[in-house]
Amino acid sequence: MNFNLNKLGKPTHCKKCGADYIYISLGVYECPKCGFVEKDDYAKVREYIEENGASSAVMISSATGVSVSDINAMLREGRLEIPNGSEVFIRCETCGAEIRFGRLCPSCAAKLSSDFKGAYVNPAVGETPNKKENKMRFLGRDKK
């Protein structure tokens, strides 16, 4: 692993001159000194899916060089969503239902929060697929 990447591959310093990157847009960074542009793993995965459509994490991984576990982490964090028309989904960690992102399906999340008398809200609630739409959507939740 490159020394200047965190676990999701976010570059922080310019590879060429070492200056701090400026965050440009979802996963894209530019060096203010030399103009070098770098994309993080999220941007690579997003671009791949925009150009090639949805694929399994394994295929995306082999095309982009981003590991399957990192791709799954992006899905679990809700930074990436599997399109409704996909044939491959991730699974609710409790009941195994298909979900497009997150860690729990809405019904398990609802059950969990009622068990905790509403005091507990799980941020990683996914959505079950509605298999009509067919386009990968991205959330503007990318953090600096």
Least CB distance to Zn ion at residue 36 (A): 5
Nearer to Zn ion, 50 or 116 (CB): 116
Q: How far apart are CA 125 and CA 133, in angstroms?
A: 20
43 and 61 in contact (C-beta within 8 Å)? no
Instruction: Put the strands of the sheet holding 28-30 in their side by side order.
Output: 22-25, 28-30, 37-39
Residues that bind Zn ion (CB under 5 A): 14, 16-17, 19, 31, 33-34, 36, 92, 94-95, 97, 105, 108
Smallest distance from the beta carbon of 56 to Zn ion, in angstroms?
21
- Hey, is 45 helix, strand or coil? helix
Nearer to Zn ion, 27 or 46 (CB): 27
Instruction: Considering the complex, state which of residue 17 and residue 139 has its C-beta at the smaller distance from Zn ion.
Output: 17
Strand 28-30 and strand 22-25: the pairing is antiparallel
How far apart are CB 24 and Zn ion at their closest, in Å? 14
